[in-house]
Amino acid sequence: MRQTNLISVPSGRFLLPFNIYRFNDKIISPEISEVTRMKKRFYITTPIYYPSAEAHIGHAYCTVMCDILARYKRMRGVETYFLTGTDEHGEKIQKKALEAGVTPQEYVDNIAKKFQDLWKAMKISNDDFIRTTQERHTKVVQDIFTKLYNNGDIYLDKYEGWYCTPCESFWTDTQVGEDHLCPDCHRPVHKASEEAYFFKTQKYLPDLLKAMDDNPKFILPIARKNEMMNTFIKPGLNDLCVSRTSFDWGIQIRENPKHVIYVWMDALSNYITALGYDSDNHELFDKFWKDPDTEIVHVVGADISRFHVIYWPMFLQGLGLRYPDRIFVHGLLDLNGEKMSKSRGNVVSPLPLIDRYGVDAVRWFLAREFAFGSDGRFTPELFAERTNADLANNLGNLVNRTVAMVNKYFEGVTPNISNLGEKEQNIRELTENTIKSYEILMDDLKISEALTKVTDLLNAANKLIEDRQPWNLAKEGKTEELANVMAVLVNTIIVSAKLLSPVLVESAEKIFDQFGLDEKQRSYELNKEFCPFSGTKLTKGNPLFPRLDIKVETEFIQSISK
């Protein structure tokens, strides 16, 4: 039961960043419906991307968000496994390879490598990279098909319907409407007919609906669940076509080799084949899937939520396996208001951005600019403005000023704290509350909101400098007050750097270096203590984030969008 006792706050002393409530022994903010219990382990996955073209900022968005969550959980001491990969079969890839004059395998080898290189450049901490052409996957997918077939979940029939080649999906008359457009990608569809295997959806639908009702966090954000219900389930769910005979770049069905397994059954299975499901090497599967004390989170874009929310749980049930805990559906980014698409010459590659601004600026922009779950617009101006506002002016400026002042007034050694004044005390309390709300928001996958709490804290610390004017305290010989201000600033920076470290993977370390922290002092739990760092010796580093000229950078980013 939810209790809503406001935390007592000494009146007038401290303005809370937002209303905070207690729930059992945890503190929650009103925007959070229910506290998420942290499980012992965490398994997080991105969609496996089509290596039909090179990755763009949209693919990077999803992967970075998952990486932030994986790094956050590891920082909290949760045993974490983070999977990404490439989805390499299907008609579209076969056609692309033909156009390029190479075999499909050569084609995907080349692009899968580029995805992997990009993730390295973006400092993605994935534990594995699955490719659906690997034997560890293909063999198990054949077994999965056989199991479901033997269960009576799959039957052979003939398919006649509207086919969307880019989405590799068949649609009904009602779904394509009078314009005959794909309901997912809105491109024209064509009539097609072929012998195919089908997966029975009605058998598992009642259990799926029950799970959706029983667990309000199964599909997030909640609006996505309603979308699934209204668009796909309520109008009547068809059985799902799970094989093709019109092309052969896919996993053959053992029982009937002229069929290949339709790409979604192949693709979705990656989440368990990568863990060693149904193989001799199933230790990871036992730990990260079977054990109910593992929180399983699939993060997917809104374009593919249907497959994850409806069919994947059904396949799992057919195999006698548990559902994932959460399917988080993130929004799609467009570029200057237009859908990103390589063929339209309308994509931004992350690599030139990383080269020019550093990996942290790119990661930061993606994580902070867009509310995770909502659609977003990438524009060159937004990128430059966001980098300046948060990284150069707020964080960077605070670090530079604090380091300079501790060097000037205390010979580079963080001073001790004595009796804090009111303003310093307020920052201390704000710091402690920021940690609490950050953790709750991150556990609830509200990444951008969690980061905003930290930037609010940094703003407050910058304001402390304006309010207390340390240079005047120094002039007036108020050494103790000056020491308190400096120590509080140092502490705020270190705590913020730790909270931001899942995003700012390079800069957080640079900050710890500048503030002279040893390995132990960098640990997350220690940073929750207030000011344990007096006596550390600061070193002068280079400014973390140079201020950008918005006009020049806007032109640059525009020039690399193609």
Q: 240, 297, 300, 354: which one contacts ligand MSP (CB under 6 A)?
A: 300
Q: 272, 340, 447, 483: which one contacts ligand MSP (CB under 6 A)?
A: 340
DSSP-assigned beta bridge partners for residue 130: 85
The reply on whether position 276 binds ligand MSP by CB under 6 A is: no
Q: Which residue lies nearer to ligand MSP by CB, 16 or 302?
A: 302
The single residue listed with the structure tokens 């509310």 is 371
Q: 36, 47, 241, 489: which one contacts ligand MSP (CB under 6 A)?
A: 47
Residue 97 Cβ vs ligand MSP, minimum distance, rounded to whole Å: 16
Number of Cβ within 10 Å of residue 111's Cβ equals: 20
Q: 28, 32, 44, 48: which one contacts ligand MSP (CB under 6 A)?
A: 48
Q: Which residue lies nearer to ligand MSP by CB, 15 or 223?
A: 223
Binding residues for ligand MSP, rule CB under 6 A, total 19
Q: Which residue lies nearer to ligand MSP by CB, 291 or 303?
A: 303
- H helix or E strand, kind and range, residue 255: none
Greatest Cα pair distance in the chain: 89
Window 232-271: contact mask with ligand MSP (x via CB under 6 A) = -----------------------------------xx-x-
Q: Which residue lies nearer to ligand MSP by CB, 47 or 250?
A: 47
| Whole-number Å distance between alpha carbons of 333 and 328 | 16
- H helix or E strand, kind and range, residue 373: none
Q: 332, 413, 550, 560: which one contacts ligand MSP (CB under 6 A)?
A: 332
Name every residue whose Cβ is closer than 8 Å to that of residue 440 and which is 6 or more positions away in sequence: 26, 27, 28, 29, 32, 35, 36
Q: Which residue lies nearer to ligand MSP by CB, 225 or 453?
A: 225
The reply on whether position 304 binds ligand MSP by CB under 6 A is: yes
Q: Which residue lies nearer to ligand MSP by CB, 308 or 498?
A: 308
Q: Which residue lies nearer to ligand MSP by CB, 163 or 515?
A: 163
Long-range CB contact pairs, 17-26, < 8 A, 24+? 17/430, 17/433, 17/434, 17/437, 17/453, 17/456, 17/457, 18/437, 20/433, 20/436, 20/437, 26/440
Among 225, 232, 224, residue whose Cα is nearest residue 172: 232
Q: Which residue lies nearer to ligand MSP by CB, 275 or 300?
A: 300
Window 521-560: contact mask with ligand MSP (x via CB under 6 A) = ----------------------------------------
The reply on whether position 333 binds ligand MSP by CB under 6 A is: yes
Q: Which stretch binds ligand MSP (CB under 6 A): 44-52, 183-191, 484-492, 532-540?
A: 44-52
Q: Which residue lies nearer to ligand MSP by CB, 141 or 340?
A: 340
The reply on whether position 485 binds ligand MSP by CB under 6 A is: no
Among 464, 453, 547, residue whose Cα is nearest residue 499: 453
Window 57-76: contact mask with ligand MSP (x via CB under 6 A) = -xx-xx--------------
Residue 291 Cβ vs ligand MSP, minimum distance, rounded to whole Å: 22
Asked if 201 contacts 314 with a C-beta cutoff of 8 angstroms, the reply is yes
Coil, strand or helix at 48 = strand
Q: Which stretch binds ligand MSP (CB under 6 A): 111-119, 288-296, 332-340, 414-422?
A: 332-340
CA angle 82/219/134 to nearest 5° reads 35
- H helix or E strand, kind and range, residue 132: none
| Whole-number Å distance between alpha carbons of 340 and 332 | 9
Among 105, 118, 108, residue whose Cα is nearest residue 58: 118
The reply on whether position 303 binds ligand MSP by CB under 6 A is: yes
- Cα 409 to the chain's mean position, in Å? 42
**The two structure tokens encoding residue 252:** 């053959």
Rounded to 5 degrees, φ, ψ at 100 are: -85, -5
Window 69-108: contact mask with ligand MSP (x via CB under 6 A) = ------------------x---------------------
* Interface contacts to ligand MSP, rule CB under 6 A: 47-50, 58-59, 61-62, 87, 267-268, 270, 300-301, 303-304, 332-333, 340
